[in-house]
A and B are shown apart, each in its own frame.
Chain A
């Protein structure tokens, strides 16, 4: 199947700092990517849809100024958690659909805010 990578896989930061997470489609182009958040033993919650060349679409209740999304190219989307606080600690996962509508997920990024 198609490959989606994320970097970093794990990050620990101090409260008040910003953290950037990268999502790349390695062997295909993705005009759309999705960002999810997952709490322990819970399912995936869609945060936003990242669109190449236009603004991201955020789900209800997700602060767009808190979670900045930039779809810089057809293979890269970034999620920046601004002024992070302990409640932002979570597992963040991105996904990208291929031309045949199969959606592949990255390995996830574990964010811990102290």
Chain B
């Protein structure tokens, strides 16, 4: 069964304190791994898609990496505005076309001044 596990469940950081969020996955065949940011009461905001082990992508203070079993979202020198829930999702290979995403439970990040 395809499964996504995110850790930690919640993380509290001081402003400027870098850290990493983990996303472990088991999937029969990985088409892509997605990272999203979600603010309370809003829809998820797309951050990155990673497709192959060794791939890395960066956006401002965020960098996502991918291995065959897990992905990390590194946050460098976070600011209070980075506080949000970060969601990881895998997209399994299921034939052609656009395939569904399977989400992890998310990591709730709080960055304090």
A residues in contact (CB < 8 Å) with B = 1, 4, 6, 31-32, 34, 41-46, 49, 91, 93, 95, 97, 101-108, 110
Contacts and interface: CB of A to CB of B under 8 A. Distances in A.
Nearest to A30: B98
Interface residues on B, range: 20 to 34
Q: Chain A at the B interface: mostly helix, strand, loop or mixed?
A: strand
A70 B91 CA distance: 24
Contacts of B36: 105
Interface in B28-72: 31-32, 34, 36, 41-46, 49
B100 A46 contact: yes
Contacts, number: 55
Kindly list the 3 A-B residue pairs having the minimum CB-CB distance in the complex, ordered from nearest.
A105-B43, A97-B98, A32-B98
Nearest to B106: A43
Given A43-B87, A105-B46, 9 more contacts: A41-B108, A42-B105, A43-B104, A43-B105, A93-B44, A95-B101, A101-B49, A101-B98, A105-B44
Interface majority SS (helix, strand, loop, mixed), chain B = strand
Nearest to A93: B43
A104 to B, nearest CB: 6
A34 B97 contact: no
30 contacts: A1-B46, A4-B43, A31-B98, A32-B97, A41-B108, A42-B105, A43-B103, A43-B106, A44-B44, A44-B87, A44-B101, A45-B103, A46-B100, A46-B102, A93-B44, A95-B101, A97-B98, A101-B32, A101-B49, A101-B91, A101-B98, A103-B34, A103-B98, A105-B36, A105-B43, A105-B45, A105-B46, A106-B43, A107-B43, A108-B42
B100 A34 contact: yes
Contacts of A101: 31-32, 49, 91, 98
B86 to A, nearest CB: 11
